Structure 1
């Protein structure tokens, strides 16, 4: 099957540091290639992939400090749909941005919604494109729009590459707690610090601070770093993250928002590390309470403190097995293959799609990516070599 994968341009695929959606796209692409599919990835030029890479920005826009990321995403979508007849399926991970292009393309487009759906603006855009095939990343993600007539194809849980998260049957000695993600009020870093303080346990915090949260963090979070035992590591790469999670006694996940998935929960459990979380969004779908973690339903620091005291009753092997069965890249790709086939069968039954054309040379007036010369193709596993710098900022897509 010839599949186009459209990734957000804000991070490389896989991301150097933070970036849940881009990490999921990488896991999916690599597994689809391994399964024999012909995959084309539209992403930033510093992406590393065994698929055919079409670079659509010089690099991940967040780390470049780009000022108009939306413009580059629109340019990328124009390029994707200019090549649409080369693909059997186009799979978009840029939420609603592809909808206007997909509506007028004979090649079926599947959109995975990676962000929150409880905002009025999201309801409005979804209701304007009810014919677009959609995938949710948790059942709870759909709750705010269940009253809309939308074309849901499936719920496909996010998957991780298990080889990146090795298992440990025991936490590090001395034990510590870990908090990973974003420093923002809805992620609960203040509560995580208080839990660790009351338990007298070290807390390692590996997280980014977005510009939108900087003012809040300076007032509410940064002063807490003087708390004994609290260590702020900033953003960490994949290997550092895996080491942190593998050695932790527990991952603290005291969220206060409708989490669409929460990839770090699966990453922690893959290492054998239980999750202690507040309920919200997908938490009760990802964490198997009493087996892979504890869900603190009163949403209090006191309950989370008591839950951490009980993590030694959980079998870390059960945490790993839960991820292998439900949240691996293999499980994710297998579920997407089913959706792709269903979508193709439906489209062909309606006479809406023809077999994809073989790749043809693009002429000089075509919509070639501005980040490479005509006829040039980055090698698999190597970033493209580019000059110039995109001029842009902002992130219209809600992220984990």
Structure 2
């Protein structure tokens, strides 16, 4: 198939540091090429891909201090996409909402994966106005706040099978927190859990400008107070294998409707069990007692630490291989692409649009 992948411009594909959406776009793009598809990637010029690259900005917008507003650059990218739209069987967007007015005439050949939270009040009237556009969720829980829309599948994220190696015996052993310093990620909970469990905690996380007050007022004082906490800062992709692989467990103490939680399957790929609060997508991603432990509160998380240290890490890795590889993710998307292409040719093949159609296949 001839497939266009349209990525956000905040980071390169793949990103140098933090950037979950761009990372997934990269894994999907490379796997589609490996499976024999003709793929074109619209992204920043420094992106690395085996697909055809259409450079839309010289460098990622987040790393360009001259950029104050990302919208003009995305609009210019969409103009490039529109000029080439007829070249593709399917155009797959990963940029939230800016493209919706543009694709009215060929919406049936498009797919939009919604990577973020959907419980914001301003989104409901928007998606109601574009209820015909084909959408994919990254978990079934993510769909909850949405009005009636054209869901064509739920596709869980996946990682290349050999991206992060399995670590059978972590050394020296510590608890890990990886991601963003923000109120909804609850790094303060991670610090308390580690302190009460008597375990060292290593925190590899970025601090966005929007979260600086939370960092300075809440988290930084806790890091300074607790001697067991080491704040590493933002880490690159090549550092994750050692960071996650040597952890006894990953703490995922979220306090928001997490759409997916890529870090959970990154830990699973290393064989590292996840201790996660029961919010958002967590029950869909973590098999309780197999790939990690789902808890309701801090007390439950502390109790799970000893269980995680004694857990069979090979079972965690096996759960990753069964459910969260990039080849499975790409196959699920290709099935949707083919249905979209058939529908656009007025071929009467129905969508599998109920929640969990593709998510359920990922379990089997």
Number of the residue aligned with 1:37: 37
Aligned to 2:64: 64
Task: Give per-residue Cα distances to partners, 1:106-150, cap 9 Å, x unaligned.
Answer: 7711000001110111112111100100000000000111xx221
In 2, the alpha carbon distance for the partners of 1:26 and 1:116 equals 21
Structure 1 residue 313, shift from structure 2 partner: 4.1
Alignment correspondent of 1:221: 219
Asked if the contact 1:292–1:315 (Cα under 8 Å) also holds between the matched residues in 2, the reply is no
Deviation at 1:295, TM superposition (A): 0.8
**8 Å CA contact 1:250, 1:274 repeated in 2:** yes
Instruction: Give how far 1:229 is off.
Output: 2.0
- For 1:379, the equivalent position in structure 2 comes to none
| Structure 2 length-normalised TM | 0.93
Residue 280 in structure 1 maps to residue 279 in structure 2: yes
CA distance in 2, matches of 1:161, 1:72: 30
Q: SS of the residue aligned with 2:212? A: helix
* Cα distance, 1:162 vs structure 2: 2.4
Q: TM-score, normalised by structure 1?
A: 0.85
The 2-side partners of 1:278 and 1:350 are apart by 44
Match of 2:207 in 1: 209
- Runs of 4+ in structure 1 deviating by more than 3 angstroms, as ranges, are none
CA distance in 1, matches of 2:223, 2:257: 27
2:343 equivalent among 321, 341, 346: 346
SS state at 2:122 partner: helix
Question: How far did residue 176 of structure 1 move?
Answer: 0.5
CA separation in 2, counterparts of 1:259 and 1:27? 21
Q: Distance in 1 between matches of 2:193 and 2:110?
A: 45
Q: CA contact under 8 A between 2:249 and 2:309: conserved in structure 1?
A: no
Contact 2:108 2:134 in 1 (8 A): no
Residues 68-114 of structure 1: CA distance to partner in whole angstroms, max 9, x if unpaired? 11111111111101110111110000122211111123771100000
Contact 2:108 / 2:340 at 8 angstroms: preserved in 1?
no
3-state SS, counterpart of residue 79 of structure 1: helix
1: CA distance, partners of 2:98 / 2:280: 23
Q: Which runs of 5+ in 2 are unaligned?
A: 349-364
State the SS of the aligned residue for 2:103. Answer: helix
How is 1:13-52 mapped onto 2 (pairs within 5 angstroms)? 13-52=13-52
Greater Cα radius of gyration, structure 1 or 2: 1
Contact 1:84–1:107 (CA under 8 A) maintained in structure 2: no
Higher RCO structure, 1 or 2 (CA under 8 Å, sep 6+): 1
Does the 8 Å CA contact 2:109/2:340 hold for their aligned counterparts? yes
Partner of 2:352: none
TM-aligned CA deviation for residue 199 of structure 1: 1.8
Please name the residue that 1:306 is paired with: 303
Match of 2:82 in 1: 81
Aligned alpha-carbon RMSD (Å): 1.3
Aligned to 1:387: none
Q: Secondary structure at the match of 2:177?
A: strand
Residues 313-322 or 10-19, more deviating: 313-322
Gaps of 5+ in 1: 352-400
Q: 1:239 Cα shift?
A: 1.1
1:357 aligns with: none
CA drift at 1:11: 0.7
Distance 1:162 1:247 in 2: 19
